[in-house]
Amino acid sequence: MQDIGHVALTAATERSRARRVGFAALGAACALVPALAMWGFTVDDALIPVCYAHHLAHGLGYRFDAQGPSTDGVTPLPWSFVLAPLAGGSSVATLLRAKVLGIVAWTLAGAALGARVGAAAEGRARVGLAGGALVVMGLAFAIGAWAASGLETGVATALATLAVTRSRRPLQVAALAGLAASLRPELVVWAVTVAAGTALAAGPTVAGAPARGRRAALVGAAVAFAPFAVCALVRLAIFGRPAPLAVLAKPSDLTHGGLYVGAALLVVLTPLLVCAPLALWRARGLALAIVVAFAAHAATVAAAGGDWMPYARLLVPVAPSLVLAFVEISKVTKPAWSAARLAAALVLGVLLAWRAAPAGRGVYQDRADLIARARPALEGAHVVAALDIGWVSAATEARIVDLAGLTDPSIALLPGGHTSKRVDVSMLLDRGVDTVLVYSEMRAVEARLLRSDLFRSRFEESTHLPLGPRGAFYVVYRLRAARDP
């Protein structure tokens, strides 16, 4: 009988191991495939930390302009230091390496999430639900797009996802969540909440008693908060303010933030999986900790005013964690109800991927082509003013006047949003600007400059730089005096 029992236990262990391996492969595939499908996605801002990284790598210090002052122009303070070892060759090549880094990190995290989900799934029906939830994550093309963007979002998503997979070890959860918040400052509320929540959910197994559980939660919260606090203190000591310069350069409001979060909840898909408040309350434990932390993050993003970048960037890092919460919730609810939510998410995911994903797939190549065209057009420029400074920094060695104020504290403090700063022509002339770049779909600050009689008297149109296949372009204006002494 003992031999029979031993054989049965061994067989069950082998099945469990095989399930974890299979789910790890599925999780990796659901992370990697959409990231590769969205390989061509990026945003102009991805080239800003690349510029800082190049200057760090060449011994010029933490600065946007090689000869300019050191400014706090990168919201994720550690990111340019992460990129510095990769910053050989051109900026476009460095961006390419950053894209690979994001995809690799997210794929490994996807595998870890898959293994954890496979271990948590119980029974044939719930194993199927767990696999379907990972497929929903894969259909959330926004997660793959930001993993491939070249920004820090892919690595932040990987760290946040790894954090919840270590829920049996609360200090590891706290450390990983805190590192994620060092890359995306708005994640700090999520990091503290998920660290404290998972410590409480671990219960007597880890803490030994309720009082010790509360102490463990406080320790976890402190550990999760520490990386964010270090970044804030470094900023305060060096730049004189604890918040990133982008907070000043990109003011927003609660209305915009609420609309942003409402749309983002649909784009990232996984919140639909956990729309079961009664089942969530019955499940409690880890599921409740993850969902409460997600809700706290969504409220934080709304209060911060959301974001101007596409594809729900600010909710992407914590969206995959809801897959694990869904699996935990499915243990205490009827499979039919879980399947209904899963089906709704799958249908929405297919529709969104079909309609919204294609527009982002050519951005990287369009930017690379624009940079190549701009180099001869900007030759001889000494000071260039532009609103989109990422690609400009890759196309010229000239000094750059940032019309959005992302890398320039004096402009960041001006009234207006990041596309409507009250920059006037006299400011450009005082800074020695000899070249101005204006996008074909003019933003407020560009339109204001072009309406100025002083601008028309001092600058003239030089050339057009096409951008992408949809007819967009940049107009290069050069200082008349520089061309006609």
Q: What residue type is assigned to position 456 of the chain?
A: R
Q: Are strands 459-467 and 472-479 parallel, antiparallel or unpaired?
A: antiparallel
Domain ranges, ordered by start, for the chain: 2-360, 363-483
Under 8 Å between Cβ of 224 and 177: yes
Alpha helices in 84-169 (DSSP H): 91-120, 124-139, 141-147, 153-165
Dihedrals φ, ψ of 474, to 5°? -115, 140
pLDDT of residue 485: 39
Name the band, by pLDDT with cuts 50, 70 and 90, for residue 210.
Answer: low
**Is the pLDDT at 5 greater than 60, yes or no?**
no
Of the candidates 109, 178, 179, the one whose C-alpha atom is nearest the C-alpha of residue 146 is 109
Predicted local confidence at residue 474, as pLDDT: 97
Q: Is pLDDT of 32 > 90?
A: yes
> What are 424-458's pLDDT values in tens digits?
999 999 999 999 999 999 999 999 999 999 999 99
Q: What is the pLDDT of residues 262-321, one digit of tens each?
A: 999 999 999 999 999 999 999 889 999 999 999 999 999 999 999 989 999 999 999 999
Give the residue among 306, 347, 317, 305 at the shortest CA–CA distance from 145.
317
pLDDT for position 482: 46
Q: What percent of the chain has pLDDT over 70?
A: 94
Three-class SS state of 441: coil
pLDDT per position as a tens digit, 223-277: 999 999 999 999 999 999 999 998 888 877 788 899 999 999 999 999 999 999 9
**The two structure tokens encoding residue 208:** 């030994």
pLDDT at 481: 63
Q: Please say if the pLDDT value at position 216 is more than 80.
A: yes
Torsion of CA 345, 351, 353, 354, to 10 degrees: 160
Residue 234: per-residue pLDDT:
97
What tens digit of pLDDT does each residue of 119-129 get?
888 777 788 99
pLDDT band for position 3 (cuts 50, 70, 90): low
Q: Who wins on pLDDT, 432 or 484?
A: 432
pTM of the model: 0.93
pLDDT class of 207 with cuts at 50, 70, 90: very low
pLDDT band at residue 206 under the 50/70/90 scheme: very low
What's the mean pLDDT when you consider all of the chain? 92
